[in-house]
Amino acid sequence: MTIKRILIVGGGTSGWMTAAMLSKLTNQTLDIQLVESENIATIGVGEATIPAIKRFNHLLGINEAEFLSATQGTFKLGIQFENWGGLGTSYMHSFGKIGRQWDWLSFHQYWLKLHQQGLVKHLDHYSINAQLALAHKYTHAQSNRPQSPMSEIASTYHFDAGLYGKFLRTLAEKNGVKRIEGKVIKVNQHLQNQHIKSVLLAIGQELDADLFIDCSGMRGLLIEQCLNTGFEDWKHWLPCDSALAVASSKELDLPSYTRSSAQAAGWQWKIPLQHRTGNGHVFSSAFISEQAAEESLYQNLDTKAISDVNHIRFRTGKRRKAWNKNCVAIGLSAGFLEPLESTSLHLVQTAISRLIKLFPDRDFQQANIDQYNQETDLEIERIRDFIIAHYKVTNRDDTEFWRYCRNMEIPDSLAAKLDIFSAYGRVHRETDELFREESWVQVLLGQGLIPSAADPLVALKSPSEIESFVSGTEQVITNCVKNVSSHQAFISQYCRSAE
């Protein structure tokens, strides 16, 4: 009853991530095929990631400098959010730590105590990642300095998603994955249990398998069009349903962060690569026309446009089952969350890991499938809540869109988090949800949600002790940043692309 053949339907980044990792972790013992058509475009609305992608690349044995050179990649220390909490506001959601923990309390609790008295600077001043990013600097973490903030630098990547897919395809094919060019025109099912039996290509070739993986994008060729799994729509919480993407020329002073600027009915991203800048406008068609959104996109470009605009429509939400019968949906076929926090590739990565952990035999035990779906739902719902918080927690009321976001109902799980934070600045996390305390703290404070009080245990320290601790932390970070070279200089030396 062992699974012998796997067919991945759809290429792109998610398809080739799946093929590369499955072939690596199963040690080339399975017959893995991937079918894709060069005539079907892939959707890549973002080219930014979160730090977990480093583990994925490490498992594949990828050399970092080689990979960044091949994908025109740069480093990312966080995301700068402009005009989200209110017009004229700005904050950095940076990776890594904020300040230092003192005894059993996190740094932000002492910051809150001083903030109540007007005796502290913006939270960005107490993060090594944020300060390096704002200065357009970068260096790797220095593990040989364990007592220094330099050991706590946390980073990830910006890269060309299309080039990353090609890079992974080379690895996967070296590991025995067979690519088949073709367009799927029909999906055949077993009569007795309605499991997928095979797919028929336009050229007449029929491909069968034991396990099918749907990487066909939002259309869900297998998981939805064949198996009618159903879709849970989250548009009432995440009203944006459209995106416009355009490339512009590269920046000379290369930032080491993604920028997200809130607009009248959505937001605009800017992602710096070695050879160009990725830009896009995510918006709600219920609150702004596509023409007006495109005009806004062009007006807010920092460099000259060098491509045509790519128009994308989407629905935020998830399949009711990411695994149905003998089909697992990975990537956009499983669900979509707008790229506000760069989680799309992370969800691909965790789906693959979860599939390996719960790998089936041809019996496809339902309890195993149910466990996969339960873990998948919990993960994406908690990420969903984090993204909703960016819209809900705001002082903006200057447009109809933002008034809707401020007043909308939110999931109970998010409401509970906001209530807990509002009281004493505490962050309640469930199980192994993605975003850590530091992420919630930076976003909620940055959006303007200031707790009514700091943790009561802060009072165990004297005011002078707290002031000395906080100011000393800032000074150490400032001194560290002074000695770091620019992001552009680091890229030129470490991983400059040949093109």
Is pLDDT of 334 > 80? Answer: yes
Tell me what pLDDT residue 499 has: 67
N-term to C-term CA, the chain? 49
Tell me what pLDDT residue 471 has: 98
For residue 58, the SS3 value is helix
Q: Which amino acid is at 23?
A: S
Tell me what pLDDT residue 418 has: 98
Contact indicator for 437, 427 with CB cutoff of 8 Å: yes
pLDDT tens, position by position, 140-170: 999 999 899 999 999 999 999 989 999 999 9
Tell me, rounded to whole angstroms, the distance of Cα 79 from its chain centroid.
Answer: 11
pLDDT tens, position by position, 371-388: 999 999 999 999 999 999
pLDDT tens, position by position, 230-241: 999 999 999 999
What b/e readout covers 357-389, taking b as 16+ CB neighbours within 10 angstroms? Answer: ebebeeebeeeebeebbebbbebbbbbbbbbbb
215's CB contacts (< 8 A; 6+ apart) are 8, 9, 10, 11, 12, 14, 15, 18, 330, 331, 333
Pairing mode of beta strands 31-36, 5-9: parallel
Is pLDDT of 41 > 80? Answer: no
Please name the residue that has the structure tokens 């933002």: 402
Domain boundaries for CATH 3.50.50.60 within the chain? 5-47+160-232+317-364, 71-156+242-313+393-499
Taking the C-alpha atoms of residue 256 and residue 469, their distance in angstroms, rounded to an integer, is 28
The share of the chain scoring above pLDDT 90, in percent, equals: 94
Q: Which amino acid is at 254?
A: L
Active site (annotated) includes residue 113:
no
Which of 24, 54, 76, 178 is catalytic? The answer is 76
297's CB contacts (< 8 A; 6+ apart) are 244, 246, 268, 279, 280, 281, 309
pLDDT tens, position by position, 428-478: 988 789 999 999 999 999 999 999 999 999 999 999 999 999 999 999 999
Tell me what pLDDT residue 44 has: 52
The model carries a pTM of 0.96
Contact indicator for 98, 438 with CB cutoff of 8 Å: yes
Mean pLDDT of 318-332: 98
Q: Which amino acid is at 37?
A: S
Tell me what pLDDT residue 113 has: 97
Pairing mode of beta strands 206-208, 196-201: antiparallel
Contact indicator for 233, 316 with CB cutoff of 8 Å: yes
Taking the C-alpha atoms of residue 242 and residue 74, their distance in angstroms, rounded to an integer, is 27
CA distances from 52 to 48, 60, 72, 95, 346 (A): 12, 13, 19, 11, 7
Tell me what pLDDT residue 43 has: 53
Pairing mode of beta strands 211-214, 5-9: parallel
Is pLDDT of 117 > 50? Answer: yes
Tell me what pLDDT residue 458 has: 97
Taking the C-alpha atoms of residue 288 and residue 293, their distance in angstroms, rounded to an integer, is 7
Mean pLDDT of 179-202: 97
Is pLDDT of 422 > 50? Answer: yes
pLDDT category of residue 40 using cuts at 50, 70 and 90: low
Instruction: Place domain 5-47+160-232+317-364 in its CATH homologous superfamily.
Output: FAD/NAD(P)-binding domain (3.50.50.60)
Tell me what pLDDT residue 237 has: 98
Taking the C-alpha atoms of residue 382 and residue 359, their distance in angstroms, rounded to an integer, is 24
Taking the C-alpha atoms of residue 499 and residue 496, their distance in angstroms, rounded to an integer, is 9
Is pLDDT of 42 > 60? Answer: no
Taking the C-alpha atoms of residue 144 and residue 131, their distance in angstroms, rounded to an integer, is 21
Phi, psi of 375, rounded to the nearest 5 degrees:
-65, -40
Q: Which amino acid is at 195?
A: H
Taking the C-alpha atoms of residue 349 and residue 354, their distance in angstroms, rounded to an integer, is 9
> Tokens for 338?
């707008």
Tell me what pLDDT residue 45 has: 45
The better pLDDT of the pair 328, 44 is held by: 328
Taking the C-alpha atoms of residue 360 and residue 4, their distance in angstroms, rounded to an integer, is 11
CATH code: domain 71-156+242-313+393-499 is 3.50.50.60
Q: Which amino acid is at 333?
A: S
Contact indicator for 383, 343 with CB cutoff of 8 Å: yes
pLDDT tens, position by position, 45-91: 458 999 999 999 999 999 999 999 999 999 999 999 999 999 999 99
pLDDT tens, position by position, 269-279: 999 999 999 99
Tell me what pLDDT residue 16 has: 96
The upper half-sphere exposure of residue 285, i.e. CA atoms within 13 Å in the direction of its Cβ, equals 11
Residue 279 is given by DSSP the state E
Q: Which amino acid is at 243?
A: A
